[in-house]
Amino acid sequence: MSSEKHTNNIHEIPFFFILGRPRSGTTLLRSLLDVHPNVIIPLENSNMIHLCMKYQSRHSKLTEQAAGRFIKDLLKSRIIREQWKLNVNDIRKNLHALNGKNFSFKDMLKTVYYGYRSVHQKEEILVMGDKSPVNSLYARKIIKVFPDAKFIHLVRDYRANLASMLKHDVFSPSASVILMQWTKSARQISNLASRYPGRFLLIRYEDFVNDPAIHLMKICAFLEIPYRAEMLEPQKREKTVKNSYASGFINSWQPSLAGNISTDNIDKWQGELPQKLVRKADFIAGKTGQGYGYQPVFRHFGIRFSCMMLPVKLLFYMNEVNRHIYDRLPYALKPLIRERRFILSREIIHLKHRLFDKE
């Protein structure tokens, strides 16, 4: 982070979240906003929500011991340790300034994010943000902890989202689970947007890539920061990609991130998904998708098909139970489980595929 960065009070800087399912353009949007000289938005931090679960209820006077525990927990995340390039001493110093004062998890998180070192020069920081797709499932919890935050909801066609996620084994191997998580996320965020008008900005991925400039202007107006055309300069984004992300990540996950913003992937799902998966997608997510302007291919489903989907729903609820149990585990266990990537519901799905060669 440039030494030019300054502020009167870190904890008065507004905060925002980019909410969206994986493979919905959230990394692209984060890379564009990172170029802005008045914005801090670190690399993805899927650990944030779990830190929140541990520290959200603490509204007491900060002690040096409590600050030390928080930093220790923070650094259990491999991504933060290896890619964030934090100056831990600076963070300790800024947290030390809170000693003896009332504090919250929001205060501590802002202190950490303020210490993030972007590859781009920063001026006065007007807003800080977080981009982590997992947060799209926890929007209700996040808005309680960050009651003044703003939210950019980036949504993509559920069929395109499905086709993209199925290409990567890090996600659930179940198309139904992916679709139901899309639906749950979209409904939850839509309900919150209705309850908190003015706090949420909806951007469709398809509209964004068709005209990124006009949508970046809307985003900047929403965040109350000046629009900077340099966010769309290809060389700036190339600098972000080369200096922020591991080459393996780019090659496997985001091979076109540094290139021109393209509309090529909008309808690619039509040639990638078999009709049986499109039908399933429309059954599970079609009604919710219509609310976002995504028209289903299939609109009528027989009783037999509906009955066949009942076990699929049961699988999703099992996956949700698995997630809720994980959420309630001691924080120290979570990084160990994530590194091993053993998830019971995922293993059952893999076994089902091996035995029956279908979902």
- Which CATH number characterizes residue 51's domain? 3.40.50.300
Q: What is the pLDDT of residue 99?
A: 67
Q: Is residue 35 part of a domain?
A: yes
Q: Is residue 1 part of a domain?
A: no
Q: Is residue 4 part of a domain?
A: no
Tokens of 304: 């037999």
Q: Is residue 3 part of a domain?
A: no
Q: Is residue 133 part of a domain?
A: yes
What phi and psi, each to the nearest 5 degrees, are found at residue 184? -60, -45
pLDDT in tens, 106-151: 888 998 999 898 999 999 999 999 999 999 999 999 999 999 999 9
What phi and psi, each to the nearest 5 degrees, are found at residue 329? -70, 155
Q: Is residue 5 part of a domain?
A: no
Q: Is residue 107 part of a domain?
A: yes
pLDDT in tens, 22-72: 999 999 999 999 999 999 999 988 889 999 988 876 556 677 788 888 899
Place of tokens 């309808």: 267
Q: Is residue 126 part of a domain?
A: yes
Q: How many domains does the chain have?
A: 1
Q: Give the single-character DSSP code of 61.
A: B
Nearest-CA neighbor of 14 among 90, 83, 106, 97?
A: 106
The mean pLDDT of 13-28, rounded to a whole number, is 95
Q: What is the pLDDT of residue 186?
A: 97
> Which structural domain, as residue segments, surrounds residue 305?
10-356
